[in-house]
Amino acid sequence: MRGFGRNRALTCREVVELVTDYMEGALSAKQSARFEQHLAFCDPCIEYLGQIRTTVALVQQLAPAPVDQEIKDKLLELYRTWQQPPP
């Protein structure tokens, strides 16, 4: 847990930063316990976690939209030149 003090309660901002890792099971047991300890006393963070879970569930139900080949080509070209220094 980068930059998060180990012997104090998490802040709401830290919970927001960790919510994805928590949902993916990427936190250690100790980190998860601290996360859940915060949730035990913070209704707004419980609501936020619920909103994120709902959003993920809804997005997973979406079917991918077809992408025109011309757009794919443009995106690939942008990606290829993205970090290249200008000429």
Residue 1 pLDDT level (bands cut at 50, 70, 90): very low
In this structure, the number of other CB atoms found within 10 A of the CB of residue 16 comes to 14
Residue at 66 is within a domain: yes
Q: What is residue 27's DSSP assignment?
A: S
Residue at 7 is within a domain: no
Residue at 77 is within a domain: yes
Domain of 77 in residue numbering reads as 12-81
Closest CA to 37 of 6, 10, 12: 10
- Contact of 15 with 43, CB cutoff 8 Å: no
Per the structure block, which two tokens stand in for 48?
């936020």
Residue at 35 is within a domain: yes
Per the structure block, which two tokens stand in for 40?
């035990």
CATH number at residue 54: 1.10.10
Residue at 37 is within a domain: yes
Residue at 87 is within a domain: no
pLDDT tens figures, 68-82: 999 999 999 999 888
Residue at 50 is within a domain: yes
pTM of the model: 0.67
Closest CA to 35 of 51, 12, 52, 69: 12
Measure the CA–CA gap between 35 and 10, rounded to whole angstroms.
7
Residue at 3 is within a domain: no
pLDDT tens figures, 37-68: 999 999 999 999 999 999 999 999 999 899 99
Task: Kindly state the average pLDDT of the residues 22-42.
Answer: 96
Domains in the chain, number: 1
